[in-house]
């Protein structure tokens, strides 16, 4: 998606440790006109697929999922991150290991909001190592629902997440895939 790639080049800031800051339009200040174009593009990439629900994860996936949902006309469910030990039996849970934050956390979604009939599109802002995405796939599978695919705004193609997800046979649509990036050389897309 050219508009998005140009925006990343214009406003993205490359930090040490292979981190791309996109606080100007995606992670802190939110450019809703851009979000609308992104939502439209996700709809186009999944044209002809039946989707009954969008699933994302708090916090930064929620905003983009909500705008995308306007085009799919379905509800958004977001998985909650929790460190609670005693989780009630009325939720699906999965463990996510965060490479960036160096810790393991549980994600949960109420059984009330994911059903065996659901055809679920996963939406998230970033794909890096893919552990959060795999956790979301776990929750959908636990519910007996169907994974239609995953729509990602920015995929860090030099990390393993994209390969992991595609190897599982999941339709993955990333609107910008970063091949490499460095403070000196900037961002290079695939
Ligand atoms: P992963 O295995 O799920 O792919 O992610 P990882 O633990 O490596 O990353 C932890 C968090 O950092 C995730 O946000 C992920 O989206 C985000 N992230 C990874 N690389 C980048 C990057 O280069 N730039 C930015 N801006 N974010 C990145 P999260 O756990 O969903 O946290 P939250 O921000 O939604 O609360
Ligand atoms: Na994030
Ligand atoms: Na996210």
C-beta of 104 in contact with ligand 1 (< 6 A): no
C-beta of 132 in contact with ligand 1 (< 6 A): yes
Q: Please, which pLDDT band fits residue 98 given cuts at 50, 70 and 90?
A: confident
C-beta of 94 in contact with ligand 1 (< 6 A): no
Is 110 within 8 Å of 90 (Cβ atoms)? Answer: yes
What's the sign of the alpha-carbon dihedral 33, 34, 38, 40?
positive
> What's the gap in Å between 178 CA and the centre of ligand 3?
16
**What residues does each domain of the chain span?**
2-189
Residue 39: name the closest of 173, 177, 187, 179 by CA: 173
In the CATH scheme, what is the code of domain 2-189? 3.40.50.2020
Burial label for 169, CB within 10 Å (0-12, 13-18, 19+), is exposed
Separation between Cα atoms, residue 73 and residue 49, nearest integer Å? 13
Separation between Cα atoms, residue 163 and residue 29, nearest integer Å? 30
Q: Please, which pLDDT band fits residue 89 given cuts at 50, 70 and 90?
A: confident
Q: What is the pLDDT of residues 45-88, one digit of tens each?
A: 999 999 999 999 999 999 999 999 999 999 999 999 986 656 66
Cα-atom radius of gyration of the chain, to the nearest Å? 16
Q: Does position 127 have pLDDT exceeding 80, yes or no?
A: yes
The three-class DSSP label of residue 111 is helix
Q: Please, which pLDDT band fits residue 99 given cuts at 50, 70 and 90?
A: confident
């Amino acid at each position: 998606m050219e508009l998005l790639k140009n925006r990343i080049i214009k406003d993205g800031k490359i930090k040490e440790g292979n981190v791309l800051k996109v606080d100007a339009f995606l992670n802190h200040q939110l450019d809703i006109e851009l979000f609308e174009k992104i939502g439209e593009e996700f709809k186009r990439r999944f044209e002809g697929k039946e989707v009954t629900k969008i699933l994302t994860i708090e916090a930064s996936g929620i905003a983009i999922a909500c705008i995308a949902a306007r085009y799919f006309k379905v509800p958004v469910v977001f998985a909650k991150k929790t460190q609670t030990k005693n989780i009630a039996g009325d939720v699906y849970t999965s463990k996510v290991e965060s490479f960036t934050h160096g810790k393991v956390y549980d994600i949960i979604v109420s059984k009330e909001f994911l059903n065996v009939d659901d055809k679920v599109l996963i939406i998230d802002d970033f794909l890096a190592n893919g552990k959060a995405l795999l956790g979301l796939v776990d929750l959908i599978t636990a519910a007996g629902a169907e994974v239609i695919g995953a729509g990602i705004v920015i995929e860090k193609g030099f990390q393993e997440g994209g390969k992991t997800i595609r190897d599982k046979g999941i339709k993955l649509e990333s609107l910008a895939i970063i091949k490499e990036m460095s403070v000196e050389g900037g961002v290079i897309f695939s």
